[in-house]
Chains A and B, each alone.
Chain A
Amino acid sequence: MHDNIIETKNLTKTFTDGDKQTTVLKGVDMSIKRGEFVAIIGRSGAGKSTLLYQISLLDTPTFGEIFINGIDIHNLTEEERIDFRLNNLGYVFQDYALLPDLTAVENVALPLLMQGYTRDEAYKRAAEVLDQVGLEGKYENIPAKLSGGQQQRVSIARGLAHKPSILFADEPTANLDIESSLLVLKIFKEIHSRGQTIVMVTHEAEYANTADRVIEMKDGIIS
């Protein structure tokens, strides 16, 4: 087992818009240890979210290398990347990104069903994780019937239910009030205390201090 769960080498991302090219990541070398809680901070446009998208396999870098669990993810096909995300990674998005047609428990159970769990097993596990994030009794609510904070907790539960190696969180508190934000951070601390690797992007230094380590991005490089 590799000590570094994430490792990047010369990670570069350039966006092209017509003739105009903008390099957002400029050769980032970075490593994150297994079980670490890392916060990536920086000002708007610093490249923190872009970095998260590359290392979480939601986007592909222009060049450079990414190793997750020692696996070079560069050579994975699109379907292999989807499968890799399903079995190794969890996500918490800024806008929760829940599926509006599914109830809370269905949203959480869906990745488990995809992994091959039976319906009963998946729903049981989903209920357990929803309980862990304080959503007992909200299983059958669709997202529209939940508050922002509750939706974000469903999102966290979905990100954790299939026991991923790494949980990625992109500005998880950006749309929440202080009370809900603190609750989300409390949940992150709890799950991290049980050994979960967490990579969180935030623009709020105060919340970043919850993490073990803070990586600050500035103009596409780690400062």
Chain B
Amino acid sequence: MERNKVTNKKIHNFKIGFFLAYRQLKHASIWTTSLIVMVMMLTFLNLVVVNGILVGLIQSSIQASEERYSGNVIVSTLRQKSIIENSAEIQKVLSNLPNVTDVIPRVLAGGSVKSDYNRLLKEGETPNQAGANISGILPSNEDKATGLSKYVIDGAYLDDNDRDGVLIGAFLVNELTPIDAVGFSQLREVKVGDRVKITVGENSREMYIRGFLRSKIDNIDSRVIMIQPELRKLIGRSDTNVSEIAVKLTPGSTELDALRVKEILSANGYDFDAKIQTATEAQPKFLKDMKDLFGLLGTLMGSIGLVVASITVFIVIFVNTLTRRKFIGILKGIGISSKSIEYSYIIQSAFYAIVGALLGMLVLYGFLVPFIDAHPINFPFSDGILYAPLGGTMWRVLALFVTTIIAGYIPARMIVNKNTLDSILGR
């Protein structure tokens, strides 16, 4: 009974607090309200966008790697092996899986590419050559699945029957990606149409540069790419085995779907023939570390942002409360409970936080995310996107909400606790 009375009193105080808060908000200056809501909105965006851009830098790199190179699952050679045994069988199994949209086989070989090789070198001059991964692809199959042709920055993409053409990754050309490191050599002053010599082991052949590639994916940009039959000839293989199979699943597939594909291949015993990894598993360690680091940095900056937000909100609400000190005194004077007065300020703070966060989300998901998706920020190593998953955003909304409530409660409590008469008389 007593407990029920206490609960009822709390509800009653809340109702009176709501009555006061609603009327204060209704009659408040539109400019003051707009200013506070704007501060809340910008605070919210600061919390989400700074973190989102930092994580988005790496996330976009990961997404791009999946889209342009690895797919959702990547099957590669076992250590000490240059090909995947039973490649054709594996591809057949993969092609028959319902959620697999593309199977992208590639043949790989370590080698070099050399330009300007008919001229005698001057004294001290280094050969115009670069060590490279030579990749044999099926151009139309690769393009359909990964959109590789979009990343040709000069020249043209390969034709399925282009027996003499190669694409050169941007990392291999000094003019495209200047790298000045001891022991690392790049091609110099090469252009589309130039003749180059491709060497794998003891075998060499002359080919023509059809184009240059820049995909911002290291595995692509450090390769020399030609059609698969020509690479097979160059390395002297007549079988149908390949070195790498990228597997794309239906759009919207998750890591769990990729794991299921991996399990199916393993269940068929193909893990004895090849290394089977999901895209996440295949991510280089540095990328995972970077993602964690950027996430941590984002959280750190977000936390600082939250502290700054708390102080800002506290000041704004404190000033707002301070200007109403006399009226708080009057309320106490005429018998309105301290709790009701405190609730009224908490409710007002909650209103500012909710409206600010809602407007922030509108700007975020209605404008910023789609705009940056459509116009990625051009960072050297990735196309930066704004990574703002709804779950993470909702946590930030909650953080802002709680912070604002506390920031609203403290000044209200401070002033409510002051002597009633002093508040009324403004002493």
Residues of chain A having any CB pair with chain B under 8 Å: 53, 58-59, 78-79, 82-83, 85-87, 89, 91, 93, 97-102, 106, 110-111, 113-116, 142, 158
Interface CB pairs A-B, < 8 A, 27 = A58-B420, A59-B419, A78-B338, A79-B337, A82-B337, A82-B338, A83-B337, A86-B334, A86-B335, A89-B335, A97-B326, A97-B330, A97-B333, A98-B330, A99-B331, A100-B27, A100-B327, A101-B24, A101-B28, A102-B23, A110-B16, A110-B19, A111-B336, A114-B16, A114-B336, A115-B335, A116-B12
Interfacial chain B residues near A116, Cβ < 8 Å: 12
Interfacial chain B residues near A97, Cβ < 8 Å: 326, 330, 333, 424
Task: Select B23's contact among A59, A106, A158, beta carbons within 8 Å.
Answer: A106
Q: Closest CB-CB distance, B108 to chain A, in whole Å?
A: 74
Most chain A beta-carbon neighbours within 10 Å: one of B15, B23, B28, B335: B335
Q: Which residue of A lies closest to B337 (CB)?
A: A82
Interfacial chain A residues near B264, Cβ < 8 Å: none
Interfacial chain A residues near B106, Cβ < 8 Å: none
- Inter-chain CA distance A98–B333, complex, in Å, is 11
Interface string of B14-50 (1 = CB under 8 A from A): 0110011001101110000000000000000000000
Asked if B421 and A53 make an inter-chain contact with CB atoms under 8 angstroms apart, the answer reads yes
Q: Answer whether residue B61 sits at the interface, using C-beta atoms and an 8 A cutoff.
A: no
Q: Can you name 16 extra interface pairs (CB under 8 A) apart from A82-B335, A89-B335, A110-B336?
A: A58-B420, A59-B419, A79-B338, A82-B336, A82-B338, A85-B333, A85-B334, A97-B330, A98-B330, A102-B23, A111-B334, A113-B19, A114-B16, A114-B336, A114-B340, A158-B334
Asked if B23 and A101 make an inter-chain contact with CB atoms under 8 angstroms apart, the answer reads yes
Residues of chain B having any CB pair with chain A under 8 Å: 12, 15-16, 19-20, 23-24, 26-28, 326-327, 330-338, 340, 419-421, 424
Asked if B327 and A82 make an inter-chain contact with CB atoms under 8 angstroms apart, the answer reads no
Interfacial chain B residues near A100, Cβ < 8 Å: 27, 327
Q: Closest CB-CB distance, B422 to chain A, in whole Å?
A: 9
Interfacial chain B residues near A86, Cβ < 8 Å: 334-336
Question: Are A58 and B327 CB-contacts (below 8 A) given A82-B335, A86-B334?
Answer: no
Interface contacts (Cβ under 8 Å), in number, total: 69
- Inter-chain CA distance A58–B424, complex, in Å, is 9
Asked if B335 and A58 make an inter-chain contact with CB atoms under 8 angstroms apart, the answer reads no
- Inter-chain CA distance A97–B423, complex, in Å, is 12
Asked if B424 and A93 make an inter-chain contact with CB atoms under 8 angstroms apart, the answer reads yes
Asked if B27 and A91 make an inter-chain contact with CB atoms under 8 angstroms apart, the answer reads no
Q: Closest CB-CB distance, B14 to chain A, in whole Å?
A: 12
- Inter-chain CA distance A19–B424, complex, in Å, is 25
Interfacial chain A residues near B332, Cβ < 8 Å: 82
Interfacial chain B residues near A79, Cβ < 8 Å: 337-338
Asked if B337 and A85 make an inter-chain contact with CB atoms under 8 angstroms apart, the answer reads no
Interfacial chain A residues near B419, Cβ < 8 Å: 59
Task: Select A87's contact among B330, B335, B421, beta carbons within 8 Å.
Answer: B335
Q: Closest CB-CB distance, B263 to chain A, in whole Å?
A: 64
Q: Which residue of A lies closest to B420 (CB)?
A: A58
Interfacial chain A residues near B326, Cβ < 8 Å: 97
- Inter-chain CA distance A98–B338, complex, in Å, is 18
Q: Which residue of B lies closest to A159 (CB)?
A: B334
Question: Are A101 and B27 CB-contacts (below 8 A) given A58-B420, A59-B419, A113-B19?
Answer: yes
